[in-house]
């Protein structure tokens, strides 16, 4: 390159830099609920537990109708952070416990690692659950600039202790230091206040990535599994079942949190250039599973099962960047939780072609312009230790094996529809007033000139899953005996097993499962390490292996 070519190249580089500087990168806010049921948002049609703040995002954004996660929290979180399926990172089996001597492999580049290269400031508030036996596995070493929250999988909502196996200890931290001042304060409130503080203090000269991983609505410890402020529980006195009533209060507190986060973004003048994602990490634990009271109605199964109720998640993406004619719609293309890494990376201005070795695909052009999606199938999971696998290709789903010997392979309510006896008097989805004027999200979205009630009736219709009555003559599915095949478009509740009727399609999906299984790495799970017990570390969960 001669002198004049070098000067020309430098001029072009400066022009490109100046153009890029004029394009403001969006703030990215990812809100992950824990163990949230498909039927526990009112935008899916249930009126038992109103979620007006989530509804406001859904009605002015995009409802993700065929959005999938894995059946458990650690595998889903690993997929979110890496853009890879858990079978390719060793995170596919069970969850990571406080005693585990492993974590998300250090060889993996995380979503915040990628975003940091694009100039983002990255903060996590809430649950990590991807390893802590050594500090190098914790958030500050995985791309985040700060972390307020906990390292393990659950905790008491007030004293912030976790009971795991024969161990008990405190788990609430600011970065790497234990935060004893949180004791006695409600977890959802603490995490919400912390998220608002991150937003308020953010230097807007850099774009923000804020990952809020709530405890809600996961069960707490077995001696008091469902917890919420008593004044909130009393709001749902019409719900006869006490556990469901407490669960409803937990959902309400989560929904209020969403509204407060939207408000904080609005007060900081950041909302107009923000992408907000709401997702669950897996299906809801219904009917007493994990001592919880979620509802996936009308879907089959619960958390940690391969059925739609275990892997189909409530999901919303919202942003003023979505063109006006695209807002307030149902996005029906297949999407997997591993897709968020490339999707948000592209939204942030990154070149998706530079991301290598991912299972996830970007949906940013689909979100903005309804362009065809690159995803045609979703691997729900392969867990050879538990002996099950499930995959969906276009409209067809194959289930091979199951969990718990099939004891949780049923359909669980409540439905929360008008024929139920326990309908809340506050109808958040049929009355425009509460949506636009009585909740923070609706009020602040409306200030941007974005309506949350356009085409409302059609949107509610499109967002509902309709299965009808279970056919008496349906072909039985016994997945422990033989794989089952379902047409999910026509049979989302997995009533009618078509494997015998359509063996060629079933075999095609079996071949696809076998191909994936040949690429899987061994699960990383370890036996309990006695030295992990919090009793050796001032009754706190800690990075014990660093002190050996």
Contact yes or no for 54/216 (Cβ under 8 A): no
| Residue 145: φ, ψ to 5° | -85, -25
Distance CA 314, CA 64 (A): 7
Spatial CA neighbour of 522 closest among 131, 90, 92, 103: 90
What lies within 8 Å, CB to CB, of 141 at 6+ separation is: 135
Q: Which among 210, 255, 258, 194 is positioned nearest to 228, based on CA atoms? A: 255
**Among 53, 77, 70, 58, which residue's Cα sits nearest to residue 331?**
58
Alpha-carbon span 330 to 366, nearest angstrom:
12
Distance, in Å, from the CA atom of 162 to the CA atom of 98, rounded to the nearest integer, reads 9
Active site residue 467: no
Among 85, 114, 123, 129, the one annotated catalytic: 129
Distance CA 179, CA 177 (A): 6
Whole-number Cα distances in Å, 304 to 74, 218, 499: 11, 13, 23
CA dist list (Å): 133 to 112, 177, 228, 515, 533: 21, 15, 31, 33, 11
Which among 388, 392, 369 is positioned nearest to 508, based on CA atoms? 392
**HEC per residue, 209-273:** EEEEECCCCCCCCCCCCCCCCHHHHHCCCCCCCHHHHHHHHHHHHHHHHHHHHHHHHHHCCCHHH
With b for 16 or more beta-carbon neighbours within 10 A and e for fewer, the 131-148 pattern comes to bbbbeebbbeebbbbebb
Q: Bridge partners of 442?
A: none
Please give the order of strands across the beta sheet that includes 484-487.
377-383, 388-393, 396-400, 484-487
User: Distance between CA 195 and CA 127 in Å, rounded?
Assistant: 13
Residue 353 Cα distances to 111, 255, 347, angstroms = 15, 36, 13
493 is catalytic: no
What sign results for the dihedral spanned by CA atoms 313, 55, 49, 417?
Answer: negative
Tokens of 179: 């935060």
The values of phi and psi at residue 400, to 5°, are -120, 110
Q: What is the dihedral of CA 535, 539, 545, 547, to 10 degrees?
A: -90
- Taking the CB of residue 166, how many other CB atoms lie within 10 A of it? 10
Indicate which residue of 44, 73, 154, 424 is catalytic.
Answer: 73
Task: Return the active site residues.
Answer: 73, 129
């Amino acid at each position: 390159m001669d002198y004049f070519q070098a000067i020309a190249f430098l001029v072009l580089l400066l022009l490109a830099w100046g153009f890029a500087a004029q394009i403001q990168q969006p703030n990215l806010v990812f809100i992950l609920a824990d163990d949230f049921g498909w039927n526990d948002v009112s935008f899916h049609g249930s009126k038992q537990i109103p979620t007006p703040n989530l509804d406001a995002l859904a009605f002015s954004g995009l409802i993700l109708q065929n959005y999938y996660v894995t059946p458990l929290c650690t595998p889903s979180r690993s997929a979110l952070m890496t853009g890879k399926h858990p079978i390719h990172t060793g995170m596919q089996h069970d969850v990571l416990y406080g005693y585990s001597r492993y974590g998300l492999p250090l060889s993996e580049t995380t979503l915040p690692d990628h975003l940091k290269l694009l100039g983002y400031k990255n903060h996590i508030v809430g649950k990590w659950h991807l390893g802590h036996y050594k500090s190098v596995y914790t958030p500050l070493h995985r791309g985040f600039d700060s972390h307020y929250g906990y390292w393990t999988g659950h905790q008491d909502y007030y004293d912030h202790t976790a009971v795991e196996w024969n161990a008990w200890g405190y788990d609430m931290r600011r970065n790497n230091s234990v935060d004893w001042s949180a004791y006695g304060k409600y977890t959802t409130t603490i995490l919400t206040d912390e998220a608002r503080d991150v937003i308020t203090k953010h230097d807007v000269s850099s774009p923000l990535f804020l990952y809020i991983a709530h405890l809600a609505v996961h069960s707490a410890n077995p001696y008091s599994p469902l917890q919420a402020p008593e004044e909130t529980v009393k709001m749902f006195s019409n719900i006869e079942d006490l556990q469901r009533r407490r669960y409803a209060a937990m959902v309400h507190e989560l929904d209020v949190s969403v509204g407060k986060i939207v408000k904080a973004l609005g007060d900081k003048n950041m909302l107009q250039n923000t992408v907000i994602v709401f997702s669950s990490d897996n299906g809801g634990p219904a009917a007493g599973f994990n001592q919880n009271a979620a509802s996936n109605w009308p879907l089959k199964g619960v958390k940690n099962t391969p059925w739609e109720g275990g892997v189909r998640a409530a999901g919303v993406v919202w942003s003023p960047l979505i063109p006006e004619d695209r807002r307030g719609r149902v996005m029906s293309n297949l999407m997997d939780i591993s897709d968020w890494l490339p999707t948000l990376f592209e939204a942030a201005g990154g070149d998706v072609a530079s991301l290598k070795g991912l299972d996830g695909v970007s949906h940013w052009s689909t979100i903005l312009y309804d362009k065809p999606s690159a995803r045609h199938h979703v691997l729900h999971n392969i867990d050879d230790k538990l002996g099950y696998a499930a995959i969906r290709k276009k409209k067809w789903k194959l289930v091979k094996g199951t969990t718990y010997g099939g004891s949780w392979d049923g359909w669980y309510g409540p439905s929360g529809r008008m024929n139920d006896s326990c309908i809340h008097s506050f109808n958040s989805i049929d009355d425009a007033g509460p949506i636009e004027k009585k909740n923070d999200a609706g009020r602040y979205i409306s200030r941007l000139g974005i309506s949350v009630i356009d085409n409302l009736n059609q949107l509610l219709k499109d967002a509902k899953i309709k299965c009808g009555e279970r056919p008496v003559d349906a072909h039985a599915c016994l997945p422990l005996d033989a794989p089952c095949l379902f047409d999910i478009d026509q049979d989302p509740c997995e009533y009618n097993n078509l494997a015998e009727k359509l063996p060629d399609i079933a075999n095609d999906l079996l071949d696809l499962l076998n191909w994936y299984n040949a690429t899987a790495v061994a699960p990383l799970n370890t036996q309990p390490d006695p030295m992990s017990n919090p009793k050796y570390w001032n009754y706190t969960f800690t990075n014990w292996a660093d002190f050996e």
